[in-house]
Amino acid sequence: MAEDPNILFEQQGRIGMVTLDRPKALNALTLGMIEALHAKLEEWREDSVVQAVVIRGTGPKAFCAGGDVRAVYDAGREGSDLTQRFFHQEYSLNRTIKHYPKPFVALLDGITMGGGMGVSIHGRYRIATEKTLMAMPETAIGFFPDVGGSYFLSRLQEPVGLYLALTGARLDAADALHTELATHYIPSDRLEEVVHQLSALDIVEDEPWTWDAQVAEVLVRHSDVPGDSTLAGDHREIERHFGQESVGAVMDSLREDNSDWANEHFDTLQKRSPTSLIISFEELRRAANLDFDSCMRMEYRMSQACMAGHDFYEGIRAVLVDKDHAPKWVPADLTEVTQEMVQAHFRPLGEDELAFD
C-alpha cells in the first residue's frame, strides 16, 4: 500500500481513523496523501473489523484547506504529468468516498476548502464545529469548483450553489447546517469524546445492520445548535441577484442595485477570473442533469483545459508565489470570453478521459 508521512492511519476498535498531518500547510492534500488515503479506504472496505471511517486534521486551524495547487502550478510550468495525475487521483478518491459503503465521518474542525470539501462532503456524516470555515474559492485562482463541487453545489437550493461557486463565500457552522453541507454541529471540545465513543461501539450479534444507527446516535447525542445562519438571512438577495441566466446578468443586477450587499459582491466578482466565472456558471448548469460520476468526468475535462490555459497559473502566481494579489486575467473582461473558449473546457478527451476502476 502507498504510504505518506503526512497522513496517518490507525484502527481504534471498529473505527478506521484517518489524520491529515500537515498542519503547517493547513493539511493541504499532496498527491502522496491522496494515493495513500485511497489505498487505505479500499483496504478498509474489505476489512470486516473496520465498520466506519473517521477523518480529521491536525492542528488548531484547519481540517484541510485544499489540494496542493502550488505543486500542480510547478508541474505545469515544468511540463510534468502531475497536472494529469493529481486531478485523476483526487477525483477518483472523491468518487470512492461518495460511494463508500461504510459510515464515513468527517470532523470539519477548522478551515475546510477545495480539496478538503472533496474528502468530506461526499461522506455520510460531516461534523461542523465553532471553528468551521467552509468555502469553494476556486474562481479567485483562475480555476472552478471541482472535487465534486459541480454535483453538490448544483443540488443546493437555487441559486445558493451558484452564489457559492462564483463568489467563494465562506460558510460558518450555522451556514453549513443550513445548506446541509454539514450534517451535525458538535463543539470542538466534544470531538475527542465523540471519537472515543465511536471507537467503543461494537456490532450487535446477529444485527450488523444496527451499526450505522449506533454511529448516528453518538453524533446526535453530542450535537448542539450553532446559532443563526447569515446565509439564510441573505437568501432573498442571493435569489434576486444570482438567479440570472448568465454571469453578465448577475453583474448587471448587482451593479444596478447599489446596496451595500450588492456593491460588496459586485466588487468580489470583479476580482475573479472572468473565464472562471463563466465556466463555473456553465459547469453548474450542466451538472444539475448529471449523476455524480458524470460530474467528475466533466470536472476532469475542465481541469485539463485549465492546465492548458493561462488563468490558473496567473491566479496561483498572484496568491501563492509572488503574493501580490493582483492577477492579470486573460481575457480581462467577461465580454471577451467567447463561447469557443467556454466549450473548450467541456470537450471529450478521448483516450485521456477520467476512467474509474
Specify the number of domains making up the chain: 1
1 within some domain: no
What percent of the chain lies above the pLDDT cut of 90?
A: 94
In the chain, which ranges are continuous DSSP H helix? 31-45, 69-78, 82-98, 115-118, 149-154, 160-167, 173-179, 191-200, 211-222, 230-233, 235-242, 247-257, 260-270, 274-287, 292-307, 311-316, 339-343
- Stretches where the chain sits below pLDDT 50 are none
Query: In whole angstroms, what is the distance from residue 46 CA to residue 270 CA?
Result: 49
Out of 16, 66, 67, 110, pick the active-site residue. Answer: 67
Tens-place pLDDT, residues 77-96:
999 999 999 999 999 999 99
From the list 4, 35, 109, 138, the catalytic residue is 138
Please tell me the predicted confidence (pLDDT) of residue 1: 52
Does 67 qualify as catalytic in the annotation?
A: yes
- The set of residues, in sequence order, having a beta carbon less than 8 Å from that of 45 and lying 6+ positions away, is 100, 101, 102
Q: What is the pLDDT of residue 356?
A: 82
257 is catalytic: no
Q: Is residue 285, in this structure, part of any structural domain at all?
A: yes
357 domain-assigned: no
Predicted TM-score of the model (pTM): 0.96
- Clarify whether 46 is annotated catalytic: no
CATH number, domain with residue 62: 3.90.226.10
| pLDDT value of residue 208 | 64
Catalytic annotation, pick one of 4, 68, 90, 146? 146
Which pLDDT does position 209 carry in this prediction?
67
115 catalytic per annotation: yes
pLDDT score at 127: 98
Range of the domain at 26: 7-352
Q: Which of 115, 116, 123, 315 is catalytic?
A: 115
User: What are 136-186's pLDDT values in tens digits?
Assistant: 999 999 999 999 999 999 999 989 999 999 999 999 999 999 999 999 999
